Structure 1
C-alpha cells in the first residue's frame, strides 16, 4: 500500500477515483503471491464459481474491484486523515458526515464483522485478539503521526527504492514458494491479470493531476469520536457474529454475493469518472 500511495503523491494523483485505480493494481497481488484469483481461497478446492479466462468468477470482483481498493487502500487513507484532522480537498465530500452515510457505514461494519468472525473460525478468543492487535497498531500509528499529514507518505528517493526492492522481493518469493502447486500452467490466467494491470495503469496515467491542498477538518466532517463509536460497534458486532455463527454465515454469504456486483459496478463507475475527467 505504501508503495502505491507514494506513487500517488509523486505524480499528484490522489483523488478517490485515482486511489481506487491504484488499489485495483495493489489487489492483483492476490494472483502472483497468494494465487487466490487463480485457484480460490486457501481452504477451498478451487474458485467458488469456477473461472473465466483463468481467473475466479467470484473472487476477482470482490477482492480486486472492492476489497483491496476500498477497504485496504482508500479507507485507511481516510481514517488517517480523520486522525490527523488534515484532509485532502478532493476527499472532503466523502468525509462529510450525513445520516445516510453513517447508516451505510454501520451496515458495512455489520457485514465486515461476519468476515472477521469467519476468518477467525468463529473463535471468540481469536476474533478479539485480531481486533485488539488491529487497534493497537492504529493507536501506535496515531501516536507517531498525529502531528503529521498525508505528506508523510511522500518518501524520498531512497525510501522509494527500498520499497520497490522489498515489493519486488515479496512478489518473487511469494510466487515461487507460497503454494507453488497453485501456479497456473496455461497462458490465459497470466494474460488476464496483465490486462487488468494495463487498464488501470493507462487510466491512472491519463488522469489529470490535482492540487495537493490539505484543509482542516471542521465539525461537518467525521471525527475521532465517530471513529471510536464505529470501533465499539465493530467489536460488539464481531463478538455477536462469532457467537451466532449460523446467522453470521448467512450474512457472510449474502454480503459476499452483494459485493461481487458492487465491485463490478464500482469499477465501471470509476472508469467512467476517469474517462469523463480526461475528456473535460
Structure 2
C-alpha cells in the first residue's frame, strides 16, 4: 500500500466520521463547505479516529466494549477542546452537574454520539464496504456480526443508520429544503471520496483496515498534531468555558486515567488471548509504509480481499447515501417528530453505552475467557 493510498484512505475515513457526527447531528450543516470545517473540525476527528483505531487494532479482534471505551475517550475532547461538557452550548444548561461535568451533555456525547457515530460506525462501514477485514466486525456480538456480514443485514443496518441520523439532522426547525440540501451536499462529497477509493482499487486487491493505519513514527507525528490542536483549542475556543477551580480538572483527569487503563488492559488481554500479532505489524519500520511481509492472522482475511462493489452497486452504501438526504428532507417537514425520534434514540443508546463501558471495566479485570 503506497503512502498516497494510506493518506487517501484516512481522508475517506475522516469524511465518513465527520458526516455522521457533525452533519448528522446538525452541529456542522455545511461541514465540507466552510474553512472551519475543513481545516479544524475534520482534522480533529480524523486524528482521533486514526490514532484510536491503531490502538484498538493492536488486538487481533477488538471487542465492542473495547471500541466503546475508545469512542468515549474521543468524546472527552468536548471538555478541553469545545468546553461543552463544562459549559454547554446546546440542551439544558441548568441540568444536573457532577464534578463540574453537565450530566446530560456528557451522557449523550460520551456514551452515544462519539463512540457510535464518530468511531464505531465509520470503522464498521470501512471494513464492510471499503477494505478487507481486520476483526472489527468479527469482534461484535455474534448476531450483530452475522448481520453485518451479510448484504441484507448491511442494507437494514444502513437504513436504520440513515433514519436515525436524519432524525437528528432534521430536529432543528430549519425547513425541509435546508435539511435536505445540507444532507445531500455533504453526502455527495463522501460519495465522491468513496467512489475515488473504489476506482483506485478497482483492479487491485483491497488492503485490510489494519494495513491502512500509521506506523509507529507516523503515530508519534499524528499524536503531536492532535496535542497541538488541544492546546490551541484550549486557548482560542471559548476559553471562558474552562473551570477556574481544580476540582473539575481533577475529575476529568480521573475519568481519562480510568478509561485509558481499561483500554490498555483490554488491548493487552486481546493480544494475549487472540492470535498473536507480530512485532512487525504493530511497530512497522517506516513511517507510512506497511511491513514487507504482512503477518498471517485468522481474524483478518487470510488472502487479500478482491476489490469490492462500486458505490452504486453496493446495496448497503446506496441505501445510506440515498436514504439519508431523502429522510432528512422528509423529517424536516415535521421537526417535532424528528426531535422525538432523536430523544428516543438517546434513551436507548445512552444506557446501552453505559452498559458497554461497565462490561469493559469488568472484562479488564475478570478472569480470562472468550467474551464477545
Q: Same fold (TM over 0.5)?
A: yes
The correspondence of residues 215-230 of structure 1 with structure 2, limited to 5 A, is 215=301, 224-230=314-320
Question: Is the alpha carbon distance of 1:45 and 1:120 closer, same or farther for their aligned partners in structure 2, counting shifts above 3 Å?
Answer: same
* TM-aligned CA deviation for residue 192 of structure 1: 2.1
SS at 2:122's partner residue?
helix
The correspondence of residues 225-236 of structure 1 with structure 2, limited to 5 A, is 225-236=315-326
* TM-aligned CA deviation for residue 174 of structure 1: 0.8
Distance 1:204 1:20 in 2: 9
Distance 2:320 2:185 in 1: 14
* TM-aligned CA deviation for residue 259 of structure 1: 3.2
Contact 1:120 1:126 in 2 (8 A): no
Distance 2:149 2:115 in 1: 20
Contact 1:4 1:22 in 2 (8 A): yes
Residue 163 in structure 1 maps to residue 222 in structure 2: yes
Specify the alignment match of 2:4 in structure 1.
none
Distance 2:367 2:134 in 1: 18
Question: Is the alpha carbon distance of 1:227 and 1:272 closer, same or farther for their aligned partners in structure 2, counting shifts above 3 Å?
Answer: farther
Distance 1:277 1:101 in 2: 34
Specify the alignment match of 1:258 in structure 2.
348
Specify the alignment match of 2:54 in structure 1.
6
Contact 2:111 2:349 in 1 (8 A): no
Specify the alignment match of 2:360 in structure 1.
270
1:180 to 239, 250, 257: 239
Q: With a CA cutoff of 8 Å and minimum separation of 6, indicate the structure with the bigger relative contact order.
A: 1
Residue 72 in structure 1 maps to residue 118 in structure 2: yes
Structure with more of its chain in helix, by fraction: 1
Specify the alignment match of 2:169 in structure 1.
116
Contact 1:62 1:256 in 2 (8 A): yes
TM-score by length of 1: 0.83
Question: Is the alpha carbon distance of 1:174 and 1:130 closer, same or farther for their aligned partners in structure 2, counting shifts above 3 Å?
Answer: farther
Specify the alignment match of 2:130 in structure 1.
84
SS at 1:77's partner residue?
helix
When the two chains are superposed, the root-mean-square deviation of aligned CA atoms in Å is 3.1
Please say which of residues 206-215 and 92-101 is displaced more in the overlay.
92-101
Report Cα offsets for 1:205-241 as digits up to 9, x if no partner: 2122144541259xxxxx9312212332222211111
Distance 1:235 1:33 in 2: 30
The correspondence of residues 84-103 of structure 1 with structure 2, limited to 5 A, is 84=130, 86-89=132-135, 91-92=137-138, 93=142, 94=145, 95-97=148-150
Contact 1:120 1:127 in 2 (8 A): no
SS at 2:86's partner residue?
helix
Question: Is the alpha carbon distance of 1:114 and 1:85 closer, same or farther for their aligned partners in structure 2, counting shifts above 3 Å?
Answer: same
Contact 2:134 2:210 in 1 (8 A): no
Report Cα offsets for 1:118-153 as digits up to 9, x if no partner: 368446235433443244235414533643321343
Residue 189 in structure 1 maps to residue 248 in structure 2: yes
* TM-aligned CA deviation for residue 77 of structure 1: 0.8
Specify the alignment match of 2:300 in structure 1.
214
Contact 1:124 1:239 in 2 (8 A): yes
Question: Is the alpha carbon distance of 1:139 and 1:244 closer, same or farther for their aligned partners in structure 2, counting shifts above 3 Å?
Answer: same
Contact 1:66 1:266 in 2 (8 A): no
* TM-aligned CA deviation for residue 33 of structure 1: 0.3
Query: What 5-or-longer segments of structure 1 have no aligned partner?
Result: 218-222
